[in-house]
């Protein structure tokens, strides 16, 4: 079985998220999603609209997602790759090169983001109203 791993906050779920998860899952047989915890987001200066538990419930309902693990810190990536027997590590192409250190442990792929949509843009539109 070829396992794939990706990470994200997945707040205000939108079509870009779904497309990323779908394309990530297509690279293997089993998709593991590292979901940023509320505490980790706060440490990055981000605040989610939905709590970790709510985002977990939403992601759990998506057919492309097989397993969800908490993302608590930046340094856990290698342990997650090893602990989940990951064959492919996937991130959006705005992270290009940032996770190449994992290439000696698994394949690393950077997928293009969906143009014209992002959680930041949705939050901007809501704030404008």
Catalytic residues: 44, 46
Q: Can you tell me the distance from the alpha carbon of 129 to that of 126, in angstroms, rounded to the nearest whole number?
A: 6
CA 7 to chain centre: 3
DSSP code string of 52-116: HHHHHHHHHT-TT--EEEEE--GGGHHHHHHHTTEEEEEEEGGGTTTTGGGTTTSEEEEEPPPTT
Instruction: Say if CB 29 and CB 1 are below 8 A apart.
Output: yes
């Amino acid at each position: 079985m070829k396992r794939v791993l990706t990470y994200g906050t997945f707040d205000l779920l939108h079509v870009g998220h779904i497309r990323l998860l779908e394309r990530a899952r297509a690279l293997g047989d089993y998709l593991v999603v590292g979901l940023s915890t509320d505490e980790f987001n706060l440490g990055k200066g981000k605040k989610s609209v939905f709590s970790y538990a709510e985002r977990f419930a939403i992601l759990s309902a998506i057919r492309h997602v097989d397993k969800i693990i908490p993302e608590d810190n930046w340094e856990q990536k290698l342990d997650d790759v090893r602990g989940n027997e990951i064959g492919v590590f996937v991130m959006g192409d705005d992270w290009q090169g940032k996770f190449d250190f994992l290439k000696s442990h698994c394949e690393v792929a950077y997928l293009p983001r969906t143009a014209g949509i992002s959680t930041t843009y949705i939050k901007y539109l809501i704030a404008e109203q």
